[in-house]
């Protein structure tokens, strides 16, 4: 749950910032130009992905902390997807 919430929060924040500075503030729309005075904390739209990643991490951590762990069968399913049985046995030398 936390990972999904984090990914959504990060991508939404990044898209909102980029669209706000590159589209809404674009000179063709009669608004302020895309320049450092209009950037959030001096971060350009092209570099805001790093801020989105921080937002992702924080939201994922908070949501994971506030919500219960997924059921055990779901945890096993995720683990099986991450390391398929055939690969696991090959790594163990069987």
Per-run averaged pLDDT (10 residues), the chain, 94 residues: 94 89 63 70 86 96 94 87 69 58
* pLDDT in the model for residue 34: 67
| Domain assignments of the chain as residue spans, ordered by start | 2-69
Query: Is the pTM value of this prediction over 0.85?
Result: no
DSSP assignment letter at 43: B
Phi, psi of 40 (to 5 degrees): -75, 115
How far is it, in rounded angstroms, from Cα 43 to Cα 18? 11
């Amino acid at each position: 749950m936390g990972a999904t919430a984090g990914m959504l929060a990060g991508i939404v924040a990044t898209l909102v910032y980029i669209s706000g500075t590159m589209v809404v503030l674009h000179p063709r729309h009669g608004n302020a130009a895309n320049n450092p005075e209009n950037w959030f904390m001096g971060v350009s739209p092209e570099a805001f992905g790093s801020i989105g990643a921080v937002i992702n991490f924080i939201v994922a951590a908070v949501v994971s902390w506030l919500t219960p762990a997924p059921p055990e069968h779901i945890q096993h399913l995720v683990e099986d997807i991450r390391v398929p049985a055939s690969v696991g046995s090959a790594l163990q030398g069987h």
